[in-house]
């Protein structure tokens, strides 16, 4: 197989560049982990990014997952990818993965379990290697198949929106607007070979039946079916995002009180909204307490709303790790798993913000922060990873010396009289009130900012500033890392 040609760029080359720029998928100078199975889509993705690497200053690493499900064919795929990377002079990680048996009571398919395993590997490599983006080779055909599959399962707008071009700040799909026909044309023009997965031809998997039976019929009626479905997914996804933002605002109005493990809604306020907003408000409320609630089926949400609309009090429903109860005029959602972080106390500030205290006695752990919808993740990392993070400081990540940051940890709201020793201030003490003033954070904002404490001493103003007493240094040997999503952003700089 020949490597990528240096001749006149293929039209797909410029199409991918437009996608990277207009959708902000990748930035020059970033380190990118490219998932390569050996099939045409992922090989084309690697070839295109390799072409762009000199101009965009990409640092590429390839990862290949070998599940061993097809015996010698699977091993052949792994060898093919390793050899391709050797000739392109790109680092390659080939990982043998064993798909776990289905757990009793779970209906996850073999493909779903393989996907979970694969994505966990990607995240592990991101942490280990300091990767900034993971590039996936999904195409417009994959998007069309996904939309049709979800349509057959009765999905709502979120499901019909298909796969996003960018998921969070990590996963990107540069080829999501590119058809498989364009991919094959590119590979043929560039004389780039690829592997064919024999399992893609079997009719055992529903996706394969959609690909080989349903889509061809649709394309015979409308040749542009694939790009049309991909474009429709983009439109539906934008509409869904708008409704989600509107629902989030209405959820604030409906919320009576909340802490880290319970949330109470005014039932009348919830039920007077349009059904499309009711469903989203209830989902968002559950998701704010348990990130796993994102997977709650639509029929479960509809059943809950129907029961709540009946107007009777005293009903109780278990949804995963959550318990939803109907009380007098209220809908109360609570975390039902006693093993999670404990809320020791909860009160209200003058402006109505929950002042809460959550105690953490073991790591790793996740702490939801309801006032902002933030999620704080705290874990022990290797020295190599800790040192790599020290070189790339970020306000959303705090890197601690594990010899100094001692359990139990506490996450709570700001209280008058709090102080800390900001890193970079030569050991000088600073009152949090003065820090907030210097950072131009008003009272309404500062009350939303969580604090991480170690044995009653502030270790991190979450998303803002770490305390020098707990911060890791170049001489640290054991590291603890805390990350936060959706932090309160300060408007000034100290």
pLDDT tens digits for range 134-190: 999 999 999 999 999 999 888 888 889 999 999 988 999 999 999 999 999 999 999
Confidence of residue 358 (pLDDT cuts 50, 70, 90): low
- At 106-125, the pLDDT tens digits run 446 778 788 888 999 999 99
- At 414-432, the pLDDT tens digits run 888 889 999 888 778 999 8
322-327 and 262-266: which strand pairing?
unpaired
pLDDT at 436 over 80: yes
- Listed by start position, the domains of the chain span 11-235, 259-335, 342-485
430-439 mean pLDDT: 88
Of residues 205 and 429, which shows the higher confidence score? 429
121-129: list long-range contacts, CB under 8 Å, 24+ apart. Answer: 121/63, 121/65, 121/95, 121/97, 122/33, 122/35, 122/63, 122/171, 123/170, 125/33, 125/61, 125/63, 125/93, 126/33, 126/170, 127/381, 127/385, 128/382, 128/384, 128/385, 129/31, 129/33, 129/61
Residue 337: the pLDDT is 47
SS3 360: strand
52-67 mean pLDDT: 95
Residue 318: the pLDDT is 72
d(CA 322, CA 387): 38
* Residue corresponding to tokens 């022990």: 380
Q: What angle do CA 220, 222, 226 make, to 5 degrees?
A: 100
pLDDT at 2 over 60: no
Residue 73: the pLDDT is 92
Confidence of residue 493 (pLDDT cuts 50, 70, 90): very low
Nearest partner of 10 among 192, 205, 252, judged by Cα: 192
336-348 mean pLDDT: 45
pLDDT at 24 over 90: yes
d(CA 42, CA 139): 9
Residue 494: the pLDDT is 32
Per-range mean pLDDT, top range of 101-105, 135-139, 197-201, 300-304: 135-139
Measured between its terminal Cα atoms, the distance across the chain in Å is 56
- At 248-271, the pLDDT tens digits run 999 999 999 888 788 999 999 999
What does pLDDT average to over the chain? 85
259-335 and 11-235 share a CATH fold: no
In CATH, the architecture of 11-235 is 3-Layer(aba) Sandwich (3.40)
Backbone conformation region of residue 68, classed left if phi is above 0, alpha if psi is from -120 to 50, else beta: left
d(CA 129, CA 392): 13
What share of the chain has pLDDT > 90, as a percent? 52
Residue 488: the pLDDT is 63
Residue 305: the pLDDT is 86
Report yes or no: 434 and 492 within 8 Å, Cβ to Cβ.
Answer: no
Residue 1: the pLDDT is 47
Nearest partner of 332 among 348, 349, 317, 310, judged by Cα: 317
Of residues 347 and 192, which shows the higher confidence score? 192
d(CA 370, CA 411): 12
- Answer CATH for 259-335 from 1.10.238.10, 1.10.630.10, 3.40.50.300, 3.30.465.60: 3.30.465.60
Residue 292: the pLDDT is 65
342-350 mean pLDDT: 42
SS3 357: strand
pLDDT at 29 over 90: yes
Which H or E run contains 299? helix 298-309
Confidence of residue 307 (pLDDT cuts 50, 70, 90): confident
Across the beta sheet with 59-66, the strand order is: 92-96, 59-66, 31-35, 133-135, 171-172, 166-167
153 Cβ neighbours under 8 A, 6+ residues apart: 159
Of residues 90 and 426, which shows the higher confidence score? 90
d(CA 109, CA 292): 18
Confidence of residue 491 (pLDDT cuts 50, 70, 90): very low
Residue 339: the pLDDT is 41
17-28 mean pLDDT: 95
DSSP letter (8 states) at residue 488: P
Residue 489: the pLDDT is 57
SS3 149: helix
Of residues 229 and 357, which shows the higher confidence score? 229
Residue 439: the pLDDT is 83
């Amino acid at each position: 197989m020949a490597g990528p040609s240096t001749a006149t760029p293929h039209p797909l080359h410029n199409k991918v560049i437009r996608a990277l720029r207009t959708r902000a998928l990748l930035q020059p100078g970033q380190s990118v982990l490219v998932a390569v199975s050996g099939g045409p889509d992922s090989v084309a993705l690697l070839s295109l990014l390799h072409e762009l690497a000199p101009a965009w200053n990409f640092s590429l690493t390839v990862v290949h997952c070998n599940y061993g499900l097809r015996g010698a064919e699977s091993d052949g795929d792994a060898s093919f990818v390793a050899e391709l990377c050797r000739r392109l002079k790109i680092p390659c990680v080939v990982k043998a993965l064993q798909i776990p048996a289905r757990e009793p009571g779970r209906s996850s398919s073999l493909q779903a379990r393989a996907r979970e395993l694969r994505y966990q590997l990607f995240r592990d490599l991101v942490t280990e290697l300091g990767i900034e983006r993971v590039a996936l080779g999904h195409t417009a055909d994959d998007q069309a198949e996904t939309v049709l599959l979800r349509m057959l399962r009765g999905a709502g707008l979120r499901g019909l929106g298909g796969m996003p071009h960018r998921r969070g700040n990590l996963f990107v799909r540069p080829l999501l607007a590119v058809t498989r026909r364009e991919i094959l044309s590119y590979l043929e023009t560039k004389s780039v070979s690829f592997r064919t997965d024999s399992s893609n031809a079997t009719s055992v998997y529903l996706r394969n039946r959609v690909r080989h039976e349903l889509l061809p019929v649709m394309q015979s009626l409308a040749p542009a079916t694939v790009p049309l479905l991909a474009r429709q997914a983009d439109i539906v996804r934008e509409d869904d995002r708008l409704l989600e933002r509107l629902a989030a605002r209405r959820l604030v109005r409906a919320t009576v009180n909340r802490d880290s493990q319970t949330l109470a809604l005014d039932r009348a306020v919830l039920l007077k909204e349009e059904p499309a907003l009711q469903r989203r408000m209830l989902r968002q409320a559950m998701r704010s307490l348990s990130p796993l609630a994102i997977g709650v089926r639509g029929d479960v949400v509809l059943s809950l709303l129907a029961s709540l609309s009946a107007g009777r009090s005293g009903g109780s429903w278990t949804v995963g790790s959550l318990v939803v109860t109907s009380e007098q005029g209220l809908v109360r959602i609570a975390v039902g798993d006693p093993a999670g972080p404990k809320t020791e106390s909860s009160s209200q500030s003058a402006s109505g913000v929950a002042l809460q205290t959550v105690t953490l006695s073991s790591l790793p752990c996740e702490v939801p922060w309801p006032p902002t919808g933030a999620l704080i993740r705290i874990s022990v990392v290797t020295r190599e990873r800790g040192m790599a993070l020290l070189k790339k400081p970020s306000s959303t990540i705090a890197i601690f010396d594990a010899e100094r940051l001692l359990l139990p940890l506490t996450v709570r709201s700001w209280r008058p009289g709090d102080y800390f020793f900001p890193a970079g201030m030569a050991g000088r003490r600073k009152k949090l009130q003065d820090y907030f003033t210097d950072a131009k954070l008003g009272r309404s904002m500062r009350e939303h900012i969580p604090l991480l404490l170690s044995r009653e001493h502030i270790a991190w103003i979450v998303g803002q500033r770490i305390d020098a007493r707990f911060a890791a240094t170049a001489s640290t040997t054991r590291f603890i890392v805390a990350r936060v999503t959706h932090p309160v952003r300060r408007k000034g700089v100290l």
